[in-house]
Structure 1
Amino acid sequence: MCRCLGVKRANYYKWLHHERSQFDKRWNLLIETVRAYHETYDHKLGYRMMKDYINHDKGTAYTEYQVYKVMRYLDIKSRIRQKRHNCTVRAKDAKAAPNVLNRDFNAAIPNEKWVTDVTEFKYGNRFEHKLYLSVILDLYDRFPVSKKYGDSNNNVLVHNTFDKAVEAYPEAHPLFHSDAGFQYTSPSFQNKLREHGMIQSMSRIGCCIDNGPMEGFWGILKCEMYYGKHYRTKEELIYALEEWFHYYTYERYQRRFGVRTPYEVRSEALKAETPAEYKIPENKRIMKYKQEHYKSRQATIYKKSIRHDN
């Protein structure tokens, strides 16, 4: 064989018995670890989250670039979010509350600010059935305070979600933010908020970013357990949702919280006299957009002033 390949026998045996370098061992270990985590977490993890999970669990210090290279080598990719279709139904002549939250998504303590929304899932052999999920999320730690399932997107679903949250935290009096759907503008729901000493806040019409954290939560949920899946029965879909909520609450690390879960952050905060604050870092793309928008607006104002003077 060596003669056919033009290789010296001494070189062949040297290669056969050579000891792997530390780099090769570390590289192969990372390959096996990434492959295992990709399967364990059902293709949910991109290279950033993959790095956080491995370093947190294994006590290693891999960089994002190292994990990225391995994922490219293995041709591993995480799921991509799809655009969400809004299922909000607006009431005619509804009395919408002002946007008190005003995109201030930071919260200093648990139960200071709650956001809520309803989303839709389809199941069945031909996706002919619908299931609605209503969730209340705490902006401090992104902890799901309450959730309820329903066959209809109606007042009962929203009321039951609210009642469950109040039962869990009877002393809470948060700012309560939602969209302007008919359930939240109904007099009965607004009376519930007043009875529990909560201030109501609503997103402006057609402005989803006013409830950005809730929209982001739906995106994570559907990307990780719904898109690309086919649930044939209601029970199968609800079971998958319950599994995901357990994973999100107790196992899904978030970089903003120092690679910890919402449950860990909440448990620590509720015991502390002065809970730690987790400021939301400014998104670089949003900062760039604001700067460009500001310059464009200033240029427009300047041109108008020149025309006016002339």
Structure 2
Amino acid sequence: MSVLNYLVALIDRHGFSILNKSYITYSAEFKEQAIRRVIVNHESLYSVALDLGLKSPGILFNWVRSYKENGYNVIIKPKGRPRHESQKQADQAGKSPLKARKPSLTPSELKTYYRERICKKIARLSQPKEQEPKAEEIAAAVTQLRRELKVSVTFILETINANPDLPHMSRSNYYYTINKKDKDAKNQPLMTLIRKIYEDNKHHYGYRRVAQTIQNLDIKVNHKKIQRLMTKMKLYGIRIKGWRKYNSYRGSQGPIKPDLIRRNFFSILPDRKWYSDVTEFKLNGQKTYLSPIIDGCTQEIISYTISRSPNLKQTMDMVDLAWLKNHGVEQSMSRKGNSLDDGLMEGFFGILKREMFYGFEKNFKNLTELEQAIREYIDYYNNERIKIKLKGLAPIKYRELVLS
């Protein structure tokens, strides 16, 4: 609740006169009652402050904090100017009339409150990821609770281990965990570089391509080390979803042309084998179609067209007229309905959709934004996205290497 909203609610509850009151001194009994409502009765701090007419919920927050810091005692602060050193010495000798009040909560109430706080904090460790937290996370939470509640480690661990729904930890394991040295402290510069590469490539890279990118920078590092560090930092590349066998529409077939490739997609030199196909994108009940050409050597996208209608026939007619007859290019046709015969192109479609479309549909308001994202991804794919099979280079860089 913001300060403005609180003031509006305060005026609505108590009227404008509540703001005209001068400085108010609250008694210890008044503070105890307010604190007890928050800690023991579990009432909202804001609602209690509003009900009591406090001008700010921060007043009650400070009472509760001071109450905990002083061993769950309400302390009455002395008024006026600070006392002289001699007066302080006299107070220490037992002559001060101001004494800390006795705890307002019974030992049983305090233990119940402590246990609730402990269980609530440890349970939160498992909520974001829905899996058992690591020993380091549990030990850090225990240490924090020990400082906040001023209770023993034994009490905290006994509370945790008595609850079957919470992860357990022994006393020896706790001290072993907090005292062991972080073996990756010296790897912080490398971990920073890993995160930068991971973020720059929009979380597409797994540990293999991150390792290859680092090795391309002339930094010698084992890929297993990169895998361990990425797991520790919870950095995971986008994974392939479960796939199903794809069968395209066979339709009516004209004259059958020979399959010259026979799934031997690789070429030693660029521009010797090209592959093309059409894939469909569905967004908000509308469709757009991508028809690229991929090179069998560099695996770069040579060219592509994007259309709102499936015009593969027009594209192939254009290729037939422009290239096949005038440049001695032979046409090879895969069997209809068998995507494996065009595996290189289908592989690119899978990478494309996995890394920029599947799961990201809500990022695109319309087909225009989607089509622009496809263009940007193809540029990234050609110029930046490394491939292990291409000696850890992007397709365009691999072309330059082959032709050099």
Do they superpose with TM above 0.5? yes
CA, structure 1 residues 85+207, in 2 after alignment: closer, same or farther (shift >3 Å)? Answer: closer
- Structure 2 residue runs of 5 or longer lacking an equivalent are 1-145, 154-180
Q: Which amino acid aligns with 1:234?
A: L
1:92, distance to aligned residue in structure 2 (A): 1.0
CA, structure 1 residues 87+121, in 2 after alignment: closer, same or farther (shift >3 Å)? Answer: farther
State the distance in 2 between where 1:259 and 1:27 align: 23
Which of 300, 308, 311 lines up with 1:143 in the alignment? 300
State the distance in 1 between where 2:393 and 2:322 align: 37
1:108, distance to aligned residue in structure 2 (A): 2.0
CA, structure 1 residues 235+159, in 2 after alignment: closer, same or farther (shift >3 Å)? Answer: same
Q: Which amino acid aligns with 1:238?
A: E
> Following superposition of structure 1 onto structure 2, how do residues 19-34 of structure 1 map, counting pairs within 5 Å?
24-34=184-194
CA, structure 1 residues 257+155, in 2 after alignment: closer, same or farther (shift >3 Å)? Answer: closer
Which of 189, 212, 216 lines up with 1:52 in the alignment? 212
> Following superposition of structure 1 onto structure 2, how do residues 1-310 of structure 1 map, counting pairs within 5 Å?
24-57=184-217, 59-82=218-241, 83=243, 88-123=248-283, 127-155=284-312, 158-159=315-316, 189=320, 193-230=324-361, 231-270=364-403, 272=404
Q: Which has the higher contact order (CA 8 A, sep 6+)?
A: 1
What whole-Å deviation, never above 9, does each CA across 1:31-62 have from its counterpart, x for those lacking one?
A: 222222222211101111111112223x3122
What whole-Å deviation, never above 9, does each CA across 1:150-177 have from its counterpart, x for those lacking one?
A: 00112466249x55xxxxxxxxxxxxxx
Q: Which amino acid aligns with 1:71?
A: M
State the distance in 1 between where 2:323 and 2:249 align: 20
State the distance in 2 between where 1:266 and 1:115 align: 17
Q: 1:201 aligns to what SS in structure 2?
A: coil
CA, structure 1 residues 28+128, in 2 after alignment: closer, same or farther (shift >3 Å)? Answer: same
CA contact (8 A) 1:120 1:131 kept: yes
Q: CA RMSD in A?
A: 2.9
| TM-score, normalised with respect to structure 1 | 0.65
Q: 2:291 aligns to what SS in structure 1?
A: strand
Q: Which amino acid aligns with 2:215?
A: N
Q: 1:133 aligns to what SS in structure 2?
A: strand
Higher strand share: 1
Question: Rg: which structure is higher?
Answer: 2
The 4+ residue runs of structure 1 with deviation greater than 6 A are none
1:195, distance to aligned residue in structure 2 (A): 4.3
State the distance in 1 between where 2:194 and 2:226 align: 8
- Structure 1 residue runs of 5 or longer lacking an equivalent are 7-19, 164-188, 273-310
Q: Which amino acid aligns with 1:142?
A: Q
Q: 1:60 aligns to what SS in structure 2?
A: coil
State the distance in 1 between where 2:236 and 2:250 align: 38
1:96, distance to aligned residue in structure 2 (A): 2.5
1:106, distance to aligned residue in structure 2 (A): 2.1
Identity score, percent: 30
CA, structure 1 residues 25+218, in 2 after alignment: closer, same or farther (shift >3 Å)? Answer: same
1:144, distance to aligned residue in structure 2 (A): 1.0
What whole-Å deviation, never above 9, does each CA across 1:96-152 have from its counterpart, x for those lacking one?
A: 2121101112212111111111111122xxx21111000111101112111000001
